[in-house]
Chain A
Amino acid sequence: MDLFTQEENILSVSEITNSVKRVLEKSFKGIKIVGEISNFKAHFSGHWYFTLKDANAQISCTMWKGNNTRVRFTPEDGMKIIVSGNISVYPPRGSYQIDVRAMKAAGVGELQAAFERLKQSLSDEGLFDVKNKKAITRLPKKIGIVTAIDSAAFRDMVSVAERRFPLVELIVASSRVQGDGAAENISRNIKLLDKLGNIDTIIVGRGGGSLEDLWAFNEEIVARTIYDAKTPIVSGVGHEIDFTIADFAADLRAPTPTASMELATPNQEDILNYITDFFSNSSTNVNSIITNFKDEIFGITNSYGFKSHDFIINNNMQTLDNYLFRIENGVNQKFLKSKNELSVLSNSIESYNIEKILERGFALVEQNCKKITRAKDFDSSKKTKIKFYDNEIEIE
């Protein structure tokens, strides 16, 4: 039989290729394929070319620059991934390939491996070197925060700052902390805060989540931005057990967002204690300085040389006594004044402390204008005043 009798059915190469192209491209849209990467090449144009394979088959893949910038890790040969995209036919070569739109690691193990690889290469490059770590300011005026402003992590940071050091000003650059574009967003916000130039410390963080949730903090772009920043950076990502690349690149790693604010601020209780200590220590010191001078003067006036001369007879002793009296008086007056000021201040420190305790929900019981601090002192027949944080009530 002659296969060529029906001449009208002859197609050109282009025609058949284009038919195949139509059929294939229509039938395989939005497909997902799992496989192992081989022959991975990142072309200088920014496009990626690789082969996806399993034990028995392989398929060519391309991933254009616009799509591959959103991939959250650096692909490597042997890595198991899931791609999604469309089949496309390339007529000049008569080949078909996957036009990859998105790519993700095929499991936590693969992500972990990508993490280790990036950690190793950045470490080799010196990004984590201790000698490059900047010291965190002890008394910050402004702290920059890069996190999601509506998150629990942010609220925790605010309450820590409020409790520990309300003198500080928080500048928040609210960021997306997971999902598409999160790493770029975090990185850009760190740069913005760094560029302000008057921020003492930048905190970069987010609350706990899965490895995928925290992934933005494992991306190279974030690590490099942290390393390049001139402002000291504290990282606080996830829980204590979570270590991210950002943690290694930061000047100081905090185990949680809450802890990051604790490390970035001094405790005002310590400062207040220091101030109170100043009063008692320096009073004692000044007292002893005065006593030393007194001893010295009396030592001289009682010395043999002094007594043996006509000094005593000549009223001079009285003059000296007068001077001494005046010096002592002057000193004592100044001293008394400072002491009075101190007791006023101590009272205000005490009432400030009581206010704080009341604010936490405790109450103060008073009878006959006296604080009742023990049950044995309480007389149920008497009028009782209970002072709460907001108001006081009386019970008969």
Chain B
Amino acid sequence: MAKKEKSFEESLLRLKEISEKLEGSEVGLDDSIKLYEEGVKLAKECYTTLSEAELKIKELKSELEIDSD
């Protein structure tokens, strides 16, 4: 897997995936511990991202682009 920064949405999706795997019975001992650790890390990241987020507002200046039609 590429080591790339996950987006918030990707992290949440992965977290969901991990939850479902841990709920199922197919996963082995080693894997379950690995998944658990990955999940804890992701959950912490998501939590921090969300609780530290500050709303960004940008105004689109339409004057610059009018009269194109």
Q: Which residues of A contact B (CB under 8 A)?
A: 139, 141, 144, 149, 158, 161-162, 166-174, 188-189, 191-193, 196, 268, 271-272, 274-275, 278-279, 281-283, 285-286, 289-290, 293, 331, 334-335, 338, 341-342, 345, 349, 352
Is the beta-carbon distance between B62 and A189 smaller than 8 angstroms?
yes
Q: Are B58 and A171 in contact (CB under 8 A)?
A: yes
> In the bound complex, what is the Cα–Cα distance between A329 and B50 (angstroms)?
35
Which B residues are in CB contact (< 8 Å) with A338? 36-37, 40
Could you tell me if B50 and A188 are in contact, using CB atoms closer than 8 angstroms? no
> Contacts of A331 on B, CB cut-off 8 Å?
29, 33
Docked Cα-Cα span, A139 to B12, in Å, equals 10
Q: Is the CB of A170 within 8 A of B58?
A: yes
Contact A342 B55 (CB under 8 A): no
Give bound CA distance, A144 to B49, whole Å. Answer: 22
**B residues at A contact (CB < 8 Å):** 7-9, 12, 15, 18-19, 22-23, 27, 29, 32-33, 36-37, 39-40, 43-44, 46-47, 49-51, 53-60, 62, 65-66, 69
Shortest 10 CB-CB distances between A and B: which pairs?
A: A285-B22, A166-B53, A167-B53, A169-B56, A173-B60, A166-B55, A139-B9, A170-B57, A275-B43, A289-B32
Closest CB in chain B relative to A347 CB, distance in Å: 12
Of the residues A149, A192, A283, A341, contact of B65 by C-beta under 8 Å: A192
Having A271-B50, A279-B43, one finds 6 other A-B pairs with CB under 8 Å, namely A161-B55, A169-B58, A170-B56, A171-B60, A173-B59, A193-B60
Chain B's nearest CB lies how many Å from the CB of A312? 26
Min CB distance B55 to A, Å, is 5
A171 to B66 alpha-carbon distance, docked (Å)? 17
Return B23 CB to nearest CB of chain A, in Å. Answer: 6
Residue of B nearest to A285 (CB): B22
Known: A171-B60, A172-B60, A285-B23. Is A345-B55 also a contact (CB below 8 A)? no
Do A271 and B23 touch across chains, with their CB atoms under 8 A apart? Answer: no
